[in-house]
Structure formats: structure tokens, C-alpha cells
Amino acid sequence: MVAEVEIQAEVVEQYQRDGAVLVKSVFSPSWVNKVRDGIMKNLEKPSQYSERLVAKEGEGTYFDDYCNWSWIEEFRDYVFNSPASYLAATFMKSSEVSFYHEHVLNKEPGTSKRTPWHHDQAYYPIDGEKFASEMNYIIKEERGEKDEDQKCFVDIPIQDIEAGKWPLLQWECEPGDVIIFHMKTVHGAPGNTSSNTHRRVLSTRWLGDDAVLATRPWEVSPPITGGLKPGQRAVCDTFPIVYSSE
């Protein structure tokens, strides 16, 4: 059964306005520990989609992988029983929420490789406005019709962002906190300068009741469609409905 938590209306409106919001202390230590165990399983047994990237020889590695929730029981439990889907439904203002996929990110100590500024929407074969991720590192991008036809790094003012010309939304987080952001919210992440601590993140992606399968003129990531055709609502065994207000 999906766990529900109390969310203030003004925080939901902040998400709708800014494209990103921090919610403190949503997940109990037991959920945090369960996610940690699931990440360790994924690190030990990566899938065909996994990557291990190094900016410079001799430095730490940046690892990422996704779509392993079907065999990692800790992730499956988190998806179907934690407050995550309720949070997605609440902030997207969606009557139903289907699960898209999870994404594990791990930067080892001494990893200088940055995650470049980007937005997620162009990576995915999904169109719609009710689409939320639960993770980190935010800047708001103006939304418009042209966004649906843009590749991930096109028209993003990277030099202006780096020069401080855009206000950044950033927070100090503790285990159990969550950052929720829209698929068109621009975000990135620095390297991990710690000498002994890994930076490990589980990001989950959620689809609202207006999300439909779409086509892209480039290779999408993840390359999964659930057997759906363009224009069909993104609900199927691959993208199961997890939360319904009814």
C-alpha cells in the first residue's frame, strides 16, 4: 500500500512555479537503508545500460544505471510502497501516476567528472507536462512548445549559468530529504571532491495522466517503450500505475 505524507499547499505551488522543490524528512531511516541496499546490489550487478565514466585517468569513477527495479526487490518495494508515488501525484496535480523508471547515480571519491547542465525531457520518448523526477540540483528553464523539439543541450545558456546570470535553486540535503523537479527543469551536478565518501543517489521518474509515448529524431534513453505506439498513454506493464486518487 502506498504511504501518504502531509504536504503543504504552498510547497506544491512552489513546485508548479519554480519547477523544483525540496521536501524535508519525507523518507524514514528504514526507507533510506532499503534504498542504500538496493544501490549496492545494482553496483555489484550492473545492467546492459550501465556506464562507468572517468574524466581523468587515476580519478574516481562516475557510475550510472537504470531500469533494474524489476529484479532489485528493495527498489520495487520503494516504488510501490513508499511515499514516492504519492509525492509525484501531489506535486504534478495528477489523479493517477505510473512509474517510468529508476536511475542510480554514484560518484566515487575524487571524481572530477561533472554532470553537464541539461533537462531530461528530450532524452525520453515521452510527451506531456505531468512528469516528475525525485532527486537533486536545479535551475528553472522557461517552458514552451519549442522544448519538445530540442535535444538535451540545445539552447541551454550554459555560459550564462556558469557566470551566475541565472538564479540557482540549491539546497543542503540530509538522508530522507527529496528534491522533486519537472522534466523540463535544467539541472546539473559537480564532481565529488570528497577523499573518502561516495555520492550515491536514487532518482525515480514518474508519469502523470497526460503523459503519452512520443518519437524523437535521435536515440532515446532509456530505449524502452513498453510496446506502446506514439500517442498512447504511457501506462502498461512496463510503466505500471502505482498511485490513483480513486
CA gap 166, 185 in Å, rounded: 13
DSSP, res 148: G
Mean pLDDT score, 97-105: 96
Q: What are the tens digits of pLDDT across the range 208-237? A: 999 999 999 999 999 999 999 999 999 999
Judge whether residue 140 has pLDDT over 50.
no
**Bridge partners, residue 206, by sequence:** 99, 132
Q: What is the 3-state secondary structure (H, E, C) of 186-231?
A: EEEECCECCCCCCEEEEEEEEECCCCEECCCCCCCCCCCCCCCCCC
pLDDT at res. 154:
54
Specify whether the CB–CB gap between 35 and 73 falls below 8 A.
Answer: no
For the chain, what is the mean pLDDT?
Answer: 87
Strand partners, 53: 62
Best CA proximity match to 153, nearest among 95, 218, 209, 91? 218
Least confident of 78-87, 160-169, 196-205: 160-169
Q: How far apart are CA 151 and CA 116, in angstroms?
A: 14
Q: Are 179 and 135 in contact (CB under 8 A)?
A: yes
- Is the pLDDT reported for residue 150 higher than 60? no
Q: Is the pLDDT of residue 145 over 50?
A: no
Report pLDDT for 39: 95
Inform me whether the pLDDT recorded for 151 exceeds 50: no
- Structural domains in the chain, CATH included, are 9-244 (2.60.120.620)
Residues 6+ apart with CB under 8 A from 45: none
Between CA 209 and CA 132 the distance in angstroms is 12
